[in-house]
Structure 1
Amino acid sequence: MSLMMQEERLILVDEQDNKVGIGEKMQVHRQGALHRAFSIFIFDRQGRLMLQQRAAEKYHSGSLWTNSCCGHPRPEESNLAAATRRLHEEMGFNCPLTEVDQILYRVDVSNSLVENEFNHTFVGVFDQPPAINPDEAEGWQWMTVPAIFAAIEQQPAQFTEWFKVILGHFGQGVIQQWADGLR
């Protein structure tokens, strides 16, 4: 585990996303404490979603497919600034991002950790291959929204738990609207 990750601090929140404290990243995930997070969905102009395959060495959910990028704002960062920073750190590009919704969820992930998140959902459009950071992602691909839902139905174990929860919460129609709205 990197020193940076050990020292990373997360914003603890209540169910209305009001800040209630600060916690060390691994401790927060071990305890399942509610914290602020974000998920980014990058679409191309054809309406396909960029999926990220998490690096095998990640502290949880390694090698699983998920949304384009996700992470946690630092205590001094806005959600948008954090999302912009992580998109560049993980996928090697920047593009305008727009927050479209929020979702509250709690899911068990690998290594006995819990993602208990008040998650801000961002969308953006980008039409080029990313320059992925191999410490963060081992692969990527474009997929249509219907193909993603079909793949999750056929092979759910290949996808992160939070990605399945987010897609299930919003549904195929809303996700497709996000894609169509960016064309």
Structure 2
Amino acid sequence: MNKQYFDGQDELLILVDENDNQIGIQDKLSVHVQGILHRAFSVFIFNSNNELLLQQRSNIKYHSPGLWTNTCCSHPRPGESTLDACNRRLNEEMGMKANLHYSFSFLYKFEFSNGLTEHEFDHVYIGNTDIEPQMNQEEVNDWRYITLSDLEKEINLYPDLYTPWLKICMPQLKQYLTSN
């Protein structure tokens, strides 16, 4: 792996157990090299037409470059609430603000071909806004809105165009939205 393209490699991540209890702090690169469970979040923004805002990850991302995924995702910093981190990254990546609410969490582990592993306790936040994104081109290649039913069809037809965590999260997202 080329360290030059590992964004935020000196950033510290919150290590957690399987119940999301903090058990330590470690640098981002070693966490992903070792596949250590850490706290993360995924934000899903919907517009007034009930369409999900997707982003296409930048081609220089350290994993999943150029893949389509949820509106934004990242890691809270030590001492930062997950909601504050969601708002910070939504603004940094997509140039947007929205009222976000916690929806559910899921745990996943995925090994990438470049030797890195995502092992995350992922908190999902949902928001609604019709504000047009002002994407950060270092973070995002493109964006688009899509219905969940069309997204499911696309994921089934072209799974390699989407991030692993989006594909893992989709059934829970649909279930949550149906029951709320």
TM range (shorter): over 0.9
CA offsets 1:112-151 (integer angstroms, 9 cap, x no match): 2111000100000111320000000000000001000000
By how many angstroms is 1:171 displaced?
5.6
The answer on whether the counterparts of 2:54 and 2:70 sit within 8 Å (CA) in structure 1 is yes
The answer on whether the counterparts of 1:108 and 1:161 sit within 8 Å (CA) in structure 2 is no
The answer on whether the counterparts of 2:53 and 2:143 sit within 8 Å (CA) in structure 1 is yes
1:84 and 2:87 aligned? yes
2:148 and 2:5 map into 1 onto residues whose CA distance is 34
1:9 and 2:16 aligned? no
The TM-score normalised by the length of structure 2 is 0.93
Q: 1:129 maps to what in 2?
A: 132
1:172 and 2:178 aligned? no
1:60 and 2:57 aligned? no
Instruction: Spell out structure 1 runs of 4+ moving beyond 6 A.
Output: none
Q: 1:49 maps to what in 2?
A: 52
By how many angstroms is 1:2 displaced?
6.8
Q: 1:109 maps to what in 2?
A: 112
List runs of 5+ in structure 2 lacking aligned partners: none
By how many angstroms is 1:106 displaced?
0.7
The answer on whether the counterparts of 1:10 and 1:36 sit within 8 Å (CA) in structure 2 is yes
1:56 and 1:146 map into 2 onto residues whose CA distance is 27
1:79 and 1:172 map into 2 onto residues whose CA distance is 22
Within a 5 Å distance, the mapping from 1:149-168 to structure 2 comes to 149-168=152-171
1:88 and 1:171 map into 2 onto residues whose CA distance is 22
Match of 1:145 among 148, 162, 167: 148
List runs of 5+ in structure 1 lacking aligned partners: none
Task: State percent identity of aligned pairs.
Answer: 44
SS in 2 for 1:134: coil
Structure 1 residues 76 and 3, CA gap change in structure 2 (3 angstroms): farther
The answer on whether the counterparts of 1:146 and 1:172 sit within 8 Å (CA) in structure 2 is no
CA offsets 1:64-118 (integer angstroms, 9 cap, x no match): 0000000000001000000000000000011111000010111123422111000
2:162 and 2:7 map into 1 onto residues whose CA distance is 26
SS in 2 for 1:5: coil
1:3 and 1:143 map into 2 onto residues whose CA distance is 29
2:6 and 2:121 map into 1 onto residues whose CA distance is 25
Structure 1 residues 167 and 74, CA gap change in structure 2 (3 angstroms): same
The answer on whether the counterparts of 2:16 and 2:38 sit within 8 Å (CA) in structure 1 is yes
Structure 1 residues 3 and 121, CA gap change in structure 2 (3 angstroms): closer
SS in 1 for 2:98: coil
The answer on whether the counterparts of 2:96 and 2:132 sit within 8 Å (CA) in structure 1 is no
2:6 and 2:58 map into 1 onto residues whose CA distance is 18
